[in-house]
Amino acid sequence: MTSSASIKDLAARFPGDFLFGVATAAYQIEGAVREDGRKASIWDAFSHMPGRVVNGDTGDVACDHYHRLESDLDLMAGLGVNAYRFSLAWPRILPDGVGAINEPGLGFYDRLLDGLKARGIKAYATLYHWDLPLTLAGRGGWTDRDTASAFAGYARLVTERLGDRLDTIVTFNEPWCSVYLGHLMGVHAPGERSIEAAMAALHVTNLAHGMGVQAIRSERPDLPVGIVLNAMSVMAASDSEADRAAAQRANDFHNGVFFGPMFESAYPDAVLDGCPDLRPHVRDGDLETMNQPLDFWGLNYYTPLRARNDDTQPFPHVSVASAVRPEKTDIGWEIEPAGLSHVIRYLYDRYELPDLYITENGAADNTRVENGAISDTMRLDYIATHLSVVADLIDENYPLKGYFAWSLMDNFEWAEGYAMRFGLVHVDYQTQTRTVKQSGHWYKALLAAHKAS
């Protein structure tokens, strides 16, 4: 896919109004964690705990985007992207999660949005990308029902103050991660390992989503609103009846607990039965609140989940089977482009869903700088093959409207710290020098060809 002819051919497969963008998240790039009134988030606290993040890395400085906003916007414009997907830092805007507004924090996002508008780049904002204000965590965080109300207030404020320059707004990014990685597996903030906590956080998050959508629509009914889900592409490890049943339970546990409430006003029966800690949280009216009409949803896809029946494991009684394909990214994830079409076909067959954006897709490719250049051919091939799958799905009339590469630039990769590089642009964390990688030059050429076609 590297020749100019193949770039032109691939670009021609996308509709003229298809959006090509890049994505980032606030804690991963901004830095400036103690500046201009911002208070700590759960990730500030978590990353400073010994042993939680590779090499003890933190987001204290990250990509120093807070101080390099204009040059980073120029970098995006130079790539020719149509849209930028970013997140707002809740503790930068409302340092305690509720209460006093931090005007300097809002001012940063004012400058960001004005800068995007000046460069003709659409603004795709996410309200929550895992950086819960630490003050709210002290009250129970996502296990506390009051956090849903706090989130709705935050959503209303952002929509009121910034909504005039947003093209879309998303409530949550990958609630699977903040719920399960944060409260069940303990590898993300706040670092709990409790099915009781996970079920509480699941329900409060779903409730916060519904209340957040209501708050957004109350301020700006015309602003397109959605959610971003890292729906698991669950593939049975074999054709055996046991593994197929395990794959369905895994779908219920990983996907159905979000898609069910949000699109059908119901949790999967298998999860209610298999996780008895969930049912007591459900109050009258909750499921109706969660099921708010959405204008779109976003899918983040990287790798499939191959499910094998395992009765020795807790519900959903699944173990992760070995990869089928030998190709892996540098983080160890199997490269399986067919997983992208698999999960989209499954979800559109199972639920009534609105328009779709691929809101994250990319590869950890840690290719180093040599002679001032980065030949990250694995990432380039990964993005090209997955974009080809997107084009196939458009040909099949799936309502795919855009693609956002993860990520604009190398950044703080959560529990992996700075050990994994997902960027189209290389960041030297010592000097903060940005260098466009081969994949970034390829993406730029693709976007230019799309605009010309």
Query: What CA–CA distance (Å, rounded) separates 223 from 167?
Result: 7
Query: What CA–CA distance (Å, rounded) separates 385 from 383?
Result: 6
pLDDT of residue 224: 98
Select from 87, 76, 85 the least CA-distant residue to 23.
Answer: 85
Paired with 236 in beta bridges are 307
Quick: pLDDT tens for 384-428.
999 999 999 999 999 999 999 999 999 999 999 999 999 999 999
Query: Which three-class secondary structure state does DSSP give residue 397?
Result: coil
* Alpha-carbon distances of 191 from 137, 148, 196, 450, rounded to whole Å: 12, 20, 14, 43
| Long-range contacts, 156-160 (Cβ 8 Å, 24+) | 156/215, 156/216, 156/218, 156/219, 157/93, 157/94, 157/101, 158/88, 158/93, 158/125, 158/127, 159/215, 159/216, 159/219, 159/220, 159/223, 160/219
Q: What positions carry a catalytic annotation? A: 174, 360
ω into 354 cis (within 30 of 0)? no
pLDDT of residue 76: 98
Q: Decide: 376 and 55 in contact? Cβ < 8 Å.
A: no
State the pTM of this model.
0.98
Q: How far is CA 197 from the centre of its chain?
A: 22
Q: Decide: 244 and 192 in contact? Cβ < 8 Å.
A: no
The architecture in CATH of the region 4-452 reads: Alpha-Beta Barrel (3.20)
Question: What is the CB neighbour count within 10 angstroms for residue 327?
Answer: 12
pLDDT of residue 24: 99
Select from 298, 407, 409 the least CA-distant residue to 362.
Answer: 407
pLDDT of residue 3: 66
Query: Which three-class secondary structure state does DSSP give residue 300?
Result: strand
pLDDT of residue 241: 98
pLDDT of residue 19: 98
Regions of the chain where pLDDT drops below 50: 1
Q: Decide: 82 and 21 in contact? Cβ < 8 Å.
A: yes
pLDDT of residue 4: 64
Domain locations in the chain as residue ranges: 4-452
